[in-house]
């Protein structure tokens, strides 16, 4: 079959779709709510994810207040919070209680990871951009896609609803370690209606949504690439989503299994994770058969949760790669090496999980294995970061909003990554484990790292979604304000952590003041920085909404980009493309010698 | 499906029926393989929990020989049979022999229903009225006549701490009082009226399984295919000697916890498969009726459901030996 022939076949679907929809216009509900269009679903995921990110951040603001001013009423909103969250979480005077601190901490972690970043990075950007970048009319399974979103939506509602059950939401951290998590939240005598049980139920929905979504991504990328779009012509963002989806498909199910087990431990009285002879309140727990193992949970949890951190970072790197190539007006340096590095990362991320468990007293041999694999995984990570850095070299860089955030991502991710290397070593980790050093390390990866990349993505694709650009002025205020304050939040955590300040302390360390005197004063500095960081999000929120009306109008390809997502009408219609798509070249043909423009779109015939 | 639920709109995405030339797959086939990959990881997680807990169990705390092997074997055979008939169903569609398709699919569905019925009406309920009492190790000597630990030690076998059978009397306040009364009535009908139960208010009285009735028999050392009937002997166990006691429900031990979780999840998969098969067998628009407009599409759907069914079968082929035989 000739290529042209297959182009026609490939695009028949899209032509058909057009015919169809001339006949029946979709109603409001089908068009914007229960839509099967990947673009609508992408926007739904994106907006839900952004909302959750903001909410998770607000929870942390209250916690930061408590850390710097232990026991003091939260200013301005203390009374309102007391009314909203009730007496378990807030005192009558409007201060955070110790249970409340645990609730907010557990929900901050859970919401940021599973309800904020993944839905925005994978569900939002993945859904909107991947089908466009591969020249497809939609995802391979549009109905399944809609189902995934609504399954995720339900999980979010259930998780948020758990704030309002007796005893409030889960308090056992995002890691939900048994045996504590297995016994927590039963004070009010409800078997099902309590924080930790509902946390598990919500996670089952969330995981199911992620699994179905990832299957859809992989099938779409394999099956619906436009003619001529061979594997090594895929934009790097598509590769990143592809590997991410594999991580989700393979790593999430064991956590789902573990979730079922913890659920039966809680509601049926089984002992998967409850050891023999467990002493509760000074007596051995009688009602349990025992025989379970808390370590088993840790294995199953981290078997997911380590790959999960790559799920948080790979789509971010994908976004940054697109933006760097576009704004340096150069091909990505080492595109192929980056693709292979992705696969190396994907594979290795399945055999490093126990580096989170050095404290469990595993034998020296097991620890050695995991130290070696952990050090090995830094190699592909460095390949990715270095390639992006070298890509900047010699470019005449356009520092627009997406590029500012993408550039800042590089050193921030660098700090996060490099500070992780000491943690790979058992001997060092025994000291640093569960201190603020670890909090600082992974937040550099996910906050000024991933979150900045996601901001970059929002600024970059906003024109494609809405037909208008976001304001550069407000954007710059958002960027510089955030960059400075976010370092103010997280950098001192390294200092505190190395001095021994432990995570999950409710009073900011006052109890151990004698031990941590030299660093405790940083609490105030970090809290003020976090407050300012919150203020600097206001220009973004303002920008996001006002640009819908007042942003500068743009055409098909405002960034003069090469990839297929910029080869559609803006915003893309139902079915995406207004012409048959065929690809003739690689993804980043910028500044090709002899070409008429400084970019050659992938659809440009040789 | 699309005509079946409101709010679904059809988008003509390519390769829903015909295969993409360079990958050789239609999309749903790739989708189901990916789904099965995640299922492998799901059951993989559960099976590794089984291994982890079993290897970590203290000697004598991993029950053996409590499941009914002949019934399990029958169910295994039925499930394997249905995996064969579903292939015939698919092949019949490929050869465009619709009546044969209906026939083989019907057999597949019946097999699945049979499997579930055996699980739900016989296997699980038989567990729920069986009772086990783990004796504290410090008190085990008192119950040597039911445990036979000297004999086991001599034979180099793991010790036994549990006495199993039907509960006839439960200590005051125990949640098993009602079950015990019910059993006691049955027992007395069988053994003649006017039965006088031994023991007092603080005791468990158990009508013993054969293994506890004759703990020193060489027969116990060999795995038995046919389950041995309950003996008419009873044991009286003081509540203060008991470590834990329950019917054979998930909380009984990590063994039954894994057994019920894995077979339960497997059963849900069987149920899910059956629902899909029924949909494809009955004259739904996306089911058997699809044959008229697009027989290849129907064949694809059957192929996908069949792949899922094979997986469900495969899981059972792991479940059967590790719970029933090992
Ligand atoms: C920029 C905003 C953020 C701030 C100020 C912040 C701050 C913090 C702090 C201070 C803690 C430690 C609390 C304690 O141990 O007592 C924490 C925990 C945590 N954060 Fe963040 N964070 C931010 C964003 C994020 C993001 C974007 C993610 C994930 C993608 C994230 C994930 C987590 C997790 C998983 C924990 C551990 C929760 C637990 O202990 O179970 N955070 N955060
Ligand atoms: Cu890790």
Q: Does the CB of B9 have a partner CB in chain A at under 8 Å? A: yes
Q: Which ligand is nearest to the CA of A306?
A: 2
pLDDT of residue A518: 94
* Statement: residue B10 has pLDDT above 90: no
pLDDT of residue A283: 63
Token pair listed for B123: 């296997």
Residue A20 resides in a domain: no
Which one is predicted more confidently, A247 or A16? A247
Give the closest-approach CA distance of B63 to chain A in angstroms.
12
Per-residue pLDDT band for B190 (boundaries 50, 70, 90) equals: low
pLDDT of residue A2: 41
Per-residue pLDDT band for A276 (boundaries 50, 70, 90) equals: confident
* Statement: residue A18 has pLDDT above 60: no
Q: Does the CB of B173 have a partner CB in chain A at under 8 Å? A: no
Residue A123 resides in a domain: yes
> How many whole angstroms separate alpha carbon A315 and alpha carbon A83?
39
* Statement: residue A338 has pLDDT above 70: yes
Number of domains in chain A: 1
Per-residue pLDDT band for A282 (boundaries 50, 70, 90) equals: low
B121 contact partners, CB below 8 Å, separation of at least 6: none
List C-alpha distances in Å: A251 to A197, B176, B210: 22, 41, 45
Please report which helix (H) or strand (E) contains residue B151, including its range.
helix B149-154
CB-nearest to A16 from B1, B12, B48 is B12
CB-nearest to A257 from B27, B46, B61 is B46
pLDDT of residue B197: 76
pLDDT tens-digit readout, A505-530: 999 999 999 999 999 999 999 999 99
Residue A8 resides in a domain: no
pLDDT tens-digit readout, A558-580: 999 999 999 999 999 988 999 88
Mean pLDDT of B272-296: 95
Domain hosting A542: range is: 35-275+290-566
Instruction: State chain A's mean pLDDT as an integer.
Output: 93
DSSP character string of A343-364? HHHHHHTTS-GGGG-GGG---H
Residue A593 resides in a domain: no
Residue B246 φ then ψ, to 5°: -165, 165
pLDDT of residue A289: 82
Instruction: Give the number of other CB atoms < 10 A from CB of residue A531.
Output: 17
Give the closest-approach CA distance of A230 to chain B in angstroms.
11
Contact (Cβ atoms closer than 8 angstroms) between residue B58 and residue A291:
yes
Residue A7 resides in a domain: no
Question: Is the complex ipTM higher than 0.95?
Answer: no
Q: Which residues line ligand 1 (CB under 6 A)?
A: A 57, 60, 105-106, 108-109, 112-113, 117, 173-175, 312, 439, 443, 446-447, 451, 486, 489, 503-504, 530
pLDDT tens-digit readout, B224-260: 889 888 888 999 999 899 988 999 999 999 999 999 9
> The domain that contains A527 carries what CATH number?
1.20.210.10
Dist. CA A486 → ligand 2 center (Å): 23
Which one is predicted more confidently, B193 or A465? A465
Give the closest-approach CA distance of A352 to chain B in angstroms.
17
CB-nearest to B23 from A215, A223, A256 is A223
DSSP character string of B97-127? -HHHHHHHHHHHHHHHHHHHHIIIIIIHHHH
pLDDT of residue A24: 56
Residue A313 resides in a domain: yes
Among A406-420, B50-64, B221-235, the range scoring the smallest mean pLDDT is B221-235
Q: Which ligand is nearest to the CA of A435?
A: 1
pLDDT tens-digit readout, B17-45: 999 999 999 999 999 999 999 999 999 99
pLDDT tens-digit readout, A396-409: 899 999 999 999 99
What domains does chain B contain, in order, with CATH numbers? 23-128+254-325 (1.20.120.80), 131-247 (no CATH)
Contacts of A219 in chain B (CB under 8 A): 27, 30-31, 34
pLDDT of residue A146: 97
Contacts of A36 in chain B (CB under 8 A): 8-9, 11
Dist. CA A305 → ligand 2 center (Å): 7
Instruction: State chain B's mean pLDDT as an integer.
Output: 90
Cβ <8 Å between B9 and A36: yes
* Statement: residue A16 has pLDDT above 80: no
Cβ <8 Å between B134 and A289: yes
Dist. CA A110 → ligand 1 center (Å): 9
List C-alpha distances in Å: B198 to B129, B139, B170, B207, B210: 20, 20, 12, 11, 19
Q: Which residue of A has its CA nearest to B34?
A: A215
Per-residue pLDDT band for A25 (boundaries 50, 70, 90) equals: low
Residue A11 resides in a domain: no
Per-residue pLDDT band for A14 (boundaries 50, 70, 90) equals: very low
Per-residue pLDDT band for B195 (boundaries 50, 70, 90) equals: low
pLDDT of residue B6: 30
Residue A373 resides in a domain: yes
């Amino acid at each position: 079959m000739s290529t042209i022939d297959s182009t026609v076949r490939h695009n028949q679907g899209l032509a058909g779709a057009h015919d169809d929809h001339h006949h029946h216009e979709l109603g409001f509900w089908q068009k914007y709510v229960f839509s099967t269009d990947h673009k609508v679903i992408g926007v739904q995921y994106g907006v839900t994810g952004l909302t959750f990110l903001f909410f998770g951040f607000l929870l942390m603001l209250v916690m930061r207040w408590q850390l710097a001013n232990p026991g003091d009423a939260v200013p301005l909103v203390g009374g309102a919070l007391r009314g909203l969250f009730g007496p378990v979480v807030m005192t009558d005077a409007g201060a955070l209680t110790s249970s409340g601190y645990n609730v907010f901490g557990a929900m901050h972690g859970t919401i940021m990871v599973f309800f904020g970043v993944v839905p925005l990075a994978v569900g939002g950007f993945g859904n909107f951009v991947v089908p466009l970048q591969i020249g497809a009319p939609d995802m391979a399974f549009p109905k399944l896609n809609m189902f995934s979103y609504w399954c995720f939506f339900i999980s979010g509602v259930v998780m948020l609803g758990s704030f309002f059950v007796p005893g409030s939401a889960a308090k056992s951290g995002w890691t939900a370690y048994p045996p504590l998590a297995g016994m927590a939240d039963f004070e009010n005598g409800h078997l099902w209606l309590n924080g930790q049980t509902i946390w598990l139920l919500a996670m089952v929905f969330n995981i199911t949504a992620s699994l179905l979504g990832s299957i859809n991504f992989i099938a779409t990328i394999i099956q619906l690439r436009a003619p001529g779009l061979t594997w090594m012509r895929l934009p790097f963002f598509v590769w990143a989503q592809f590997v991410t989806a594999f991580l989700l498909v393979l790593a999430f199910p064991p956590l789902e299994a573990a979730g079922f087990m913890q659920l039966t431990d809680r509601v049926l009285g089984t002992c998967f994770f409850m050891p023999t002879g467990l002493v509760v309140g000074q007596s051995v727990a009688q009602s349990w058969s025992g025989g379970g193992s808390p370590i088993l949970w840790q294995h199953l949890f981290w078997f997911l949760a380590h790959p999960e951190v790559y799920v948080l970072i790979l789509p971010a790197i994908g976004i940054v790669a697109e933006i760097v190539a576009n704004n340096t007006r150069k091909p990505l340096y080492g595109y192929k090496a980056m693709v292979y590095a992705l696969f190396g990362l994907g594979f290795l991320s399945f055999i490093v999980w126990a580096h989170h468990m050095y404290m469990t007293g595993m034998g020296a041999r097991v620890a050695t294995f995991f130290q070696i694999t952990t050090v090995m995984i830094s190699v592909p990570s460095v390949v990715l970061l270095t390639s992006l850095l070298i890509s900047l070299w010699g470019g005449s860089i356009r520092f627009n909003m997406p590029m500012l955030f993408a550039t800042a991502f590089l050193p921030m991710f660098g700090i996060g990554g490099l500070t992780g290397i000491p943690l790979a070593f058992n001997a060092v980790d025994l000291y640093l484990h569960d201190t603020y050093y670890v909090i600082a390390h992974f937040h550099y990866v996910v906050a000024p790292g991933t979150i900045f990349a996601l901001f970059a993505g929002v600024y970059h694709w906003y024109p494609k979604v809405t037909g208008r650009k976001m304001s550069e002025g407000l954007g710059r205020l958002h960027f510089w304000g955030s960059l400075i304050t976010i370092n103010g939040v997280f950098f001192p955590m390294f200092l505190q952590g190395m001095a021994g300040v432990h995570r999950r302390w409710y009073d900011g360390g006052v109890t151990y003041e004698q031990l941590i005197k030299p660093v405790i004063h940083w609490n105030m500095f970090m809290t003020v920085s976090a407050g300012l960081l919150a203020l600097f999000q206001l220009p973004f929120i303002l920008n996001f909404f006002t640009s819908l009306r007042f942003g500068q109008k743009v055409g098909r390809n405002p960034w003069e980009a090469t990839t297929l997502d910029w080869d559609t009408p803006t915003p893309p219609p139902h079915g995406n493309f207004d012409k048959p798509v065929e690809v003739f070249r690689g993804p980043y043909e910028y500044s090709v010698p002899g070409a008429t423009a400084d970019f050659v779109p992938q659809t440009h015939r040789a | 499906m699309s005509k079946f639920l409101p709010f679904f709109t059809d988008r003509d995405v390519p390769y829903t029926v015909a295969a993409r030339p360079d990958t050789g797959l239609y999309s749903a086939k790739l989708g189901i393989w990916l789904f099965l990959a995640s299922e492998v990881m799901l059951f993989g997680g559960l099976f590794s929990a089984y291994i982890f807990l079993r290897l970590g169990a203290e000697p004598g705390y991993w029950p053996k020989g409590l499941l009914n092997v002949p019934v399990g074997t029958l169910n295994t055979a039925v499930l394997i049979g249905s995996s064969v008939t579903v292939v015939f169903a698919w092949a019949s569609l490929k050869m465009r022999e619709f009546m044969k398709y209906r026939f083989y699919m019907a057999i597949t569905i019946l097999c699945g229903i049979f499997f579930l019925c055996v699980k739900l009406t016989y296997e699980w309920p038989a567990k729920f009225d069986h009772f086990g009492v783990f004796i504290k190790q410090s008190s085990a000597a008192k119950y040597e006549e039911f445990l036979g630990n000297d004999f086991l030690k001599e034979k180099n076998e793991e010790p036994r701490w549990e006495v199993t059978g039907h509960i006839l009397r439960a200590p005051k306040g125990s949640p098993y009082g009602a079950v015990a009364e019910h059993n006691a009535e049955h027992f007395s009908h069988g053994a003649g009226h006017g039965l006088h139960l031994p023991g007092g208010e603080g005791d468990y009285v158990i009508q013993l399984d054969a293994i506890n009735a004759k703990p020193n028999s060489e027969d116990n050392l060999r795995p038995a295919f046919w389950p041995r009937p309950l003996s008419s002997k009873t044991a009286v166990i003081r509540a203060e000697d008991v470590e834990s006691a329950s019917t054979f429900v998930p909380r009984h031990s990590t063994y039954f916890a894994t057994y019920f979780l894995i077979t339960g999840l497997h059963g849900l998969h069987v149920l899910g498969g059956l629902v899909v098969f029924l949909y494809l067998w009955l004259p739904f628009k996306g089911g058997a009726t699809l044959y008229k407009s697009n027989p290849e599409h129907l064949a694809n759907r059957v192929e996908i459901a069949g792949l899922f069914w094979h997986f469900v079968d495969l899981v059972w082929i792991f479940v059967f030996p590790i719970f029933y035989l090992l």
